Amino acid sequence: MNSGADRIFVDLEILGKVKRQGHLNTLISRHVIADIYSLRAVVPPGRLMVRVNPLNRNSEIEINEVISAGADILMLPMYQTANEVKHFCKLVASRARICLLTETVGAMISLNECVQMPGVDEIHIGLNDLHLELGYNFMFEPLADGFVDRMAQVLRQSGIPFGIGGLARIGEGLIPAELLLSEHVRLGSTAAILSRTFHREHRTVEEINAEMQFGLEITKLRSELTRLCHATSDKLESNRIAIANRIRRIAEA
């Protein structure tokens, strides 16, 4: 883990994803359980996260296989209700940490109940599927329109650590990482997923190393985060307004 990243993410989610996102220019992973075994040999304990499929009739089998392969953290996508979360926690049975991917309107509505569920360790707010269900044109509109603020308030009050969306490199992306990091600080988020824009969709370590200095780009993100952690509340609010205006301009274009 000398890359600077805190976790390595294996993405097994495929059920329903092509139907939801197949018309968009989004990344649909083709990871398999064998990838967990391969990574387990080199990833330090506690740092291997796996997104499983939404709850389905085969969930118990998949969860058992993923845990047996060595996953430290299981991420549940596309849940809607606290009952689904309760069932998922029962299947995991404290054998791994649980991260809920809050990315549906139902998940937003049930968030107060879900954060009180025994077994839930952390939350990640997903913006891609959430913006689709809300009928928005641009992924970051839920951030501009206050949905993320309301969820973050619930999560801060609960004391459960949470993250938000993804990040590109400093100075890149429709909403550059330095602007999004300001929102992470303002809202109390402590995590983000490195987006496909960050690594240019390269598929091998050799391709990544030929195009970028991965560790250096992580250092840039961390340095900017540290700087923003010392910003005044007035500065963070000014950034919030600027980001919201930028998001709306992009959405309306």
118 backbone φψ class: left, alpha, beta (φ>0; ψ -120 to 50) = beta
C-alpha 18/C-alpha 15 separation (Å) is 8
**197-211 pLDDT, tens per residue?**
787 666 677 777 777
- Residue identified by tokens 């404290």 is 94
Confidence (pTM): 0.91
Residue 134 has pLDDT above 90, yes or no: yes
On whether residue 237 sits in a domain, the answer given is: yes
Residue 74 lies in a domain: yes
Q: Tell me if 1 is assigned to some domain.
A: no
Cα 17 from Cα 23, distance rounded (Å): 10
CA distance 159 to 8: 24
Residue 50 DSSP class: E
What is the pLDDT, as a whole number, of residue 28? Answer: 56
Average pLDDT over residues 167-196: 93
More confident residue, 178 or 2: 178
Q: At what angle do helices 214-229 and 177-187 cross, to 10 degrees?
A: 50
Give the mean pLDDT of the chain. 92
Among residues of the chain, what percentage have pLDDT more than 90?
Answer: 81
Asked if pLDDT for residue 21 goes beyond 70, the answer is no
**What are the structure tokens assigned to 156, written together?**
């801060």
Q: Looking at residue 23, what is its pLDDT?
A: 47
Q: Cβ(26)–Cβ(128) under 8 Å?
A: yes
Answer whether residue 114 is part of any domain: yes
**Which distant-in-sequence residues (6+ apart) come within 8 Å of 24 by Cβ?**
none
Q: Number of structural domains, the chain? A: 1
- Does some domain include residue 2? no
Residues with Cβ within 8 Å of residue 154, at least 6 apart in sequence: 111, 112, 115
> Do 75 and 49 meet the contact criterion of CB atoms below 8 Å apart?
yes
pLDDT above 70: percentage of residues in the chain: 92
| CATH code for the domain in which residue 92 is found | 3.20.20.60
Residue 206 lies in a domain: yes
* Structural domain containing residue 132: 8-252
